[in-house]
Structure 1
Amino acid sequence: MRVFVSAGDISGDNHAARLVRELRSLVPKLEVYGIGGDRLKEEGAQIYFHLDDLSVVGIGEVFGRLPAILRAKRGTRRILKTVPPDVVLLVDYPGFNLPLAKTAHVMGLKVVYYIPPQIWAWGRYRVRYIKRWVDKIITILPFERDFYRGHGIDTVFVGHPLLDAIDKKREEDRFIALLPGSRMSEIKNMLSLLLSISKVFPDEEFIIPIASRRHRDFVTSLVERINPKVAVNVGSTYEILSRSKLAVTASGTATLECAIIGVPLIIVYKVSLLTWIFARAVVDIPHIGLVNLVAGERIVPEFIQGEAIEEKIVPVVRRLLEGEGEKMKEKLDGVRKMLGGKGASRRAAEIVAELIR
């Protein structure tokens, strides 16, 4: 039995790895291969194209990675023809994975999309392509189930896999965690601002957890230049968050990690000018942070692009440290409950296993 997996960023690699681990317990002698990162490698997947060469944020960042992306597209087509899988499992990463869904569908392969494109935010016209090319959607966000089912697509909500991955609650109020994002382009756009904010609070203990060792040298060099008092930790973000009183983070999965652990947070996000112009033209959602989208209201402050400046963020950091963070925790607990129960990766694996057999 074979599964081809395509996960093009660190978050997707983590989610895919948990699913593959569960899938192996259901399907003996399973062969897993495709596109991913270190976590999928650890679960025994053969990685033909590493996500570090492919992961981008926005239009401007695509051009620098275009040769690698095109090589991966051509290579993936060859692999699917040469070693056809029983299921093609796509994980997030829509810019690459939606065209791949078409390729796999045309080849007559079963296509499962785990963590589907956020087309409810922009580009809703793409739903017709998903309906045509994808056999089943497995979603981890509760509101996506109704959206995709409303368009006639076979969709299952399994809960959020972070509930399985994170078994920690806040243990102490020690750190202020700075999370500039998992991609190098995000780190370059965000880290200088976060470090500047840290200098305003010399009595606080700041720490930057980094998921990939490949980013350590860049992060460390910038820290040494702007604020050497900030610690850098390569390893578990969850461990750091469980010991944090506050997080200043990029939008994305990290906002849900904070909600699950119960860490008050501020969302800060900056992209290239070209990406921002494009986003302003096409994105139609009231909030950028996943935690706010799941909540259905802005429970966490967001500072995006031009608003992401030290003068606006510092007063909010101060207010949260002085007591407002306690009020936020109650609303974060509500978000945690909306994400479903534990066992999401197992439920997703059972769905994929049924399609393989």
Structure 2
Amino acid sequence: MNKPASRIAIISGELSGDSYAVDVVEQLKSVMPNALFEGISGQRTQAAGLKQWSNCQPKAVMALTQVISNIVHFRRLLDTIKQNLTQCPPDLLILIDYGGLNLRVARIASECRIPVLYFIPPKVWAWGQWRLKKIKRYVKWVAPIYPFESDFFKRHAIESFLIQHPFIEKIRCINPSSQHSGTQHRIALLPGSREQEIRHVLPIMLKSVYLIVQNNPNYQIDVICAEPSKLALIEQITDHWSECIPLSVVTENKLAHLKSCRAALVCSGTASFECAMLTVPMVIVYRANWINYCIGKLLFRAKWFGLPNLILNCLAVPELLQHHCQPKHICNSMIQLLKDGVHRQRQLSHLERLAQQMTERDDCMPIGEVVTKILTHS
């Protein structure tokens, strides 16, 4: 008698979570073609074959003030998830990122005796270590994508699979954009995928590159739009700068464009890792409203803010945060990277070392292989 098809529930949030969820579905479909996928994720995951539980989508929120203002939305979302998990429990629940919601979901799943794999687990190494108790109680396995995270969870006696970062496969087939004859005259701006990030950071980025192009008019500015839904906002902010800065908004072949750039200004996050793996020198910038910044400063325990610095455990990439995130400071740091010299060469050496660390670990596994292993032995 044939074994029934495995039912796998996936819950992810915002753009990066949707991207990781797509990788899970596509990898599993290649080895488990009869598997059924359901849950809550973004449009790309739904297009890949996930049956959506509800039209109630997760929202991209980072700060405490944003969480409070969206509390009704999260309550409805949690009720929808609980109803589906209790009425028809899946064989495995995969949670992706989005700790504020997903740790509550993990508790519900635990009460329903549903095994939980947490892919991209909460950043408890940086803040909120009290959440470790919840992870130990409600989550059976964690699957981080950075070596320092996996080492952290193992030190706390949590079963951890180090996952091969999905971006590593993508960069193998990336070539610099054929539209550009060289890399020396292009600067990338990556203002993030969240609305509040873009509103706070992109105007400062534009003021900074304005200072650069005043003395270096040959530079072309590429503003990378991470998510189609944010294109209108980015165009609104960049519109009145187009007369004094030679800029374009990039919506397609984004990684190829990025690889073609001499340097980048990056809102800290996944984009800083992508720049590092493409060996594009960068300056990390970030600014939030002061209430959220002060709360975050009290909670955040990690020494560094940007992913490249966390992975390498040193200040490999300049970080200009909050009151240091000023156009004059940013301009000075960028000029050091744009010209050939010790600052540029030092960062390139760091980024090459990071790429080596991320690609040469023997204990890395694809997420599809981990899920298959779990389902086979459960």
Take 2:269 and 2:229, find their aligned partners in 1: how far apart are those partners? 20
AA aligned opposite 1:197: S
Take 1:141 and 1:50, find their aligned partners in 2: how far apart are those partners? 32
Indicate the residue corresponding to 1:205 in structure 2.
220
Structure 2 unmatched runs, 5+: 1-5
1:282 to partner: Cα distance: 1.3
Rg larger in structure: 2
Alpha carbons of 1:261 and 1:169: their partners in 2 closer, same or farther (altered >3 Å)? farther
Take 2:14 and 2:95, find their aligned partners in 1: how far apart are those partners? 12
Question: CA offsets per residue over residues 101-158 of structure 1, 9 Å max, x none?
Answer: 1111111101001111110111112111101111111111101122111111111112
- 1:67 and 2:72 aligned: yes
Indicate the residue corresponding to 2:14 in structure 1.
9
Indicate the residue corresponding to 1:311 in structure 2.
328
Map 1:187-336; keep pairs closer than 5 Å: 187-202=198-213, 203=217, 204-228=219-243, 229-323=246-340, 324-336=343-355
| Contact 1:247–1:265 (CA under 8 A) maintained in structure 2 | yes
Indicate the residue corresponding to 2:151 in structure 1.
146
| Contact 1:164–1:343 (CA under 8 A) maintained in structure 2 | no
| Contact 2:40–2:54 (CA under 8 A) maintained in structure 1 | yes
| Contact 1:163–1:342 (CA under 8 A) maintained in structure 2 | no
Indicate the residue corresponding to 2:95 in structure 1.
90
1:276 to partner: Cα distance: 0.7
Question: CA offsets per residue over residues 212-235 of structure 1, 9 Å max, x none?
Answer: 211111110111023453211223
Structure 1 unmatched runs, 5+: none
SS, match of residue 74 in structure 1: helix
Alpha carbons of 1:255 and 1:51: their partners in 2 closer, same or farther (altered >3 Å)? farther
- 1:78 and 2:89 aligned: no
Alpha carbons of 1:235 and 1:154: their partners in 2 closer, same or farther (altered >3 Å)? same
Q: Which moved more, 1:74-83 or 1:61-70?
A: 61-70
TM-score (norm 2): 0.89
Q: Percent identity?
A: 27
- 1:355 and 2:374 aligned: yes
Alpha carbons of 1:325 and 1:170: their partners in 2 closer, same or farther (altered >3 Å)? farther
Partner residue of 1:176 out of 181, 187, 211: 187
| Contact 1:22–1:345 (CA under 8 A) maintained in structure 2 | no
Take 1:22 and 1:343, find their aligned partners in 2: how far apart are those partners? 20
Indicate the residue corresponding to 1:31 in structure 2.
36
Take 1:24 and 1:344, find their aligned partners in 2: how far apart are those partners? 23
Indicate the residue corresponding to 2:3 in structure 1.
none
Coordinate RMSD, CA, aligned:
2.1
Count of residues in correspondence between the two structures: 357
SS, match of residue 161 in structure 2: strand
Question: CA offsets per residue over residues 20-62 of structure 1, 9 Å max, x none?
Answer: 1011112122221222213212311123457965111211222
SS, match of residue 132 in structure 1: helix
AA aligned opposite 1:331: H
Q: Which moved more, 1:52-61 or 1:340-349?
A: 340-349
Take 1:147 and 1:342, find their aligned partners in 2: how far apart are those partners? 16
| Contact 1:37–1:50 (CA under 8 A) maintained in structure 2 | no
1:192 to partner: Cα distance: 0.9
| Contact 2:162–2:365 (CA under 8 A) maintained in structure 1 | no
Structure with the greater relative contact order (CA < 8 A, sep ≥ 6): 1 or 2?
A: 1
Take 2:122 and 2:271, find their aligned partners in 1: how far apart are those partners? 18
Indicate the residue corresponding to 2:45 in structure 1.
40
Question: CA offsets per residue over residues 303-352 of structure 1, 9 Å max, x none?
Answer: 01111111211111111111232331111010111113599996211111
AA aligned opposite 1:239: A
Take 2:133 and 2:40, find their aligned partners in 1: how far apart are those partners? 25
| Contact 1:189–1:271 (CA under 8 A) maintained in structure 2 | yes
